[in-house]
């Protein structure tokens, strides 16, 4: 037994798409592993044991954490939430029949409900596919169903992201950005440098005079 090709294709697409979302870093937390649910021998085998469950890891992209920081609560990202909703919308074509993320679990028919397992799954999306989808879907199928994974973050508003980034940074250090205009200038440059590959980087750089940003911070 090993990972199923359709599950790998979906995992690859997801990791690429999540990686495009500002503020989030994706990590391949695996597909195939032979184990019982909750590692309890009295419980059934996990769907990971059949190679058709994936764990798409999500880390927060924060300054001082080159590989991202494992979140301790749900990552606040409208783009990530929208991506998960897109998977749900197209669940039939993707063969998704179960998902756990951030304290909730989803099944066709019952929709989202509270999840009360051992781990709240703030740090990864657990997703299960039907045997047929796991066996047959290809990378081309996944792209046809979900679109190009590299355009997920392209409609993000650079200013909104910048404010998010700076507020999170100052929150970490327990300081007020409004009292530190020079520091804010530094973080604007850092945010631009760290996101060279984002579609919106040129927009970010041109839209980032600190005066305008400070005005928006004062308003928010």
List residues binding Zn ion (CB under 5 A): 55, 126
Q: Which lies closer to Zn ion via its Cβ, residue 129 or residue 156?
A: 129
Q: Smallest distance from the beta carbon of 202 to Zn ion, in angstroms?
A: 38
Tokens 């989202």 — which residue?
112
Q: Which lies closer to Zn ion via its Cβ, residue 55 or residue 61?
A: 55
Q: Smallest distance from the beta carbon of 30 to Zn ion, in angstroms?
A: 8
CB 71 within 8 A of CB 122: yes
Q: Smallest distance from the beta carbon of 53 to Zn ion, in angstroms?
A: 5
Q: Which lies closer to Zn ion via its Cβ, residue 4 or residue 126?
A: 126
CA distance 109 to 132: 19
CA distance 204 to 190: 11
Q: Smallest distance from the beta carbon of 142 to Zn ion, in angstroms?
A: 19
Per DSSP, 26 falls in state E
Q: Which lies closer to Zn ion via its Cβ, residue 49 or residue 136?
A: 49
Angle separating helix axes 181-194 and 210-219, nearest 10 degrees: 110
From edge to edge, which strands make up the β-sheet containing 53-60?
24-28, 53-60, 124-129, 96-101, 104-107, 111-114
Q: Which residue is closest to Zn ion by CB? A: 126
């Amino acid at each position: 037994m090993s990972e199923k090709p359709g599950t790998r294709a979906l995992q690859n697409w997801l990791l690429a798409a999540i990686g495009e979302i500002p503020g989030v870093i994706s990590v391949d937390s695996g597909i195939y592993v032979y184990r019982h649910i909750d590692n309890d021998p009295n419980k059934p085998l996990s769907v990971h044991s059949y190679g058709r469950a994936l764990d798409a890891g999500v880390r927060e992209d924060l300054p001082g954490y080159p590989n991202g920081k494992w979140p301790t609560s749900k990552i606040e990202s409208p783009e990530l939430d929208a991506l998960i909703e897109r998977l749900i919308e197209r669940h039939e074509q993707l063969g998704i029949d179960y998902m756990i993320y951030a304290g909730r679990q989803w099944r066709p028919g019952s929709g989202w409900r509270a999840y009360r397992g051992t781990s709240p799954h703030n740090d990864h999306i657990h997703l299960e596919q039907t045997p047929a989808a796991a066996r047959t879907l290809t990378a081309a199928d996944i792209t046809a169903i979900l679109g190009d994974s590299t355009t997920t973050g392209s409609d993000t508003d650079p200013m909104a992201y910048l404010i998010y980034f700076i507020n999170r940074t100052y929150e970490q250090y327990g300081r007020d950005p409004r009292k530190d205009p020079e520091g804010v200038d530094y973080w604007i440059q850092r945010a631009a440098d760290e996101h060279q590959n984002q579609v919106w980087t040129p927009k970010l750089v041109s839209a980032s005079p600190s005066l305008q940003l400070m005005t928006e911070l004062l308003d928010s």
